[in-house]
Amino acid sequence: MSVALIEPFDRWFLSLSKDSGTTCRNDCYTKCGGFDKLNHRNANLLDSLFFCMTNENVEFIPLPGTKISENRKSSKIRRVLGIDPGLANTGFGVVDCWKGKYRMVSYGVIETNADKPHGERLLTIYSRLQAVIDEFKPEEACMEALFFAKNVTSAISVAEAKGVVTLCLAQNVIPLSEYKPNQIKKAVTGTASADKELVEKYVQLLLNLDVKPQPDHAADALAGAICHLHSSNLQ
């Protein structure tokens, strides 16, 4: 059952289950400031929405005069999966954006054992990334563009991991964007010459985290997700 979301109450409805019932309805009234601060029309609107959410066979019918936009880009929560590919460690970070505000959903690292066969390590990256996608269901993805330094062997292994990641995203029909390292640094900190420590500090501040995200690969993935959201919001 799909329920159209109506401004300004959609932020609470997104997290409701059909079993929420009266408790969540009353909580919502409380967050609005209580019955005395809700006009009669909005109170009826809340009751109508909760009734629809707690009854599977009831189709939502908006109140007369209510303006509804089913695909309002400005109020839609965007979920982005940032990825920092690597054969030994592939970092990932899932970030939500709603009306310009960021929220960390999850982050971590996919590790592979150097003692395992090469193909098995790549398969581990693929299968665990697929598990992340299945759990968090991102709509967009991004990762850092390859930067070839002097260590060619390391660059090749990163390229292989990136290929596996790209394949996994393509099979799940998730659009992928790539950003240069300097683009990510500038989007997150405001300067393209920022070091890793400064990037981690800004990621912590922007996502309102209690501590800096660790390890580095996960922090880089979160930074990439923030860069993507910031860049696409400016378009």
Cα–Cα distances in Å, from 143 out to 72, 81, 138, 217? Answer: 27, 9, 14, 11
Name the DSSP letter for residue 58.
P
Rg, Å, the chain Cα set: 21
Q: What is the rounded end-to-end Cα distance, in angstroms, of the chain?
A: 33
Out of 140, 160, 217, 228, which one is annotated catalytic?
217
CB neighbour class for 22 (10 Å; exposed up to 12, middle 13-18, buried from 19): exposed
Residue 220 designated active-site = no
Out of 96, 140, 144, 220, which one is annotated catalytic?
144
Phi-psi region of 203 (alpha: psi -120 to 50; beta: other; left: phi over 0): alpha
Residue 197 designated active-site = no
Distance CA 135, CA 23 (A): 27
Residue 230 designated active-site = no
Q: Which two tokens stand for residue 137?
A: 């269901």
Out of 84, 140, 200, 220, which one is annotated catalytic?
84
Secondary structure percentages of the chain, helix, strand, coil, to 5: 50, 15, 35
Distance CA 72, CA 68 (A): 9
Residues annotated catalytic, as ranges: 84, 144, 217
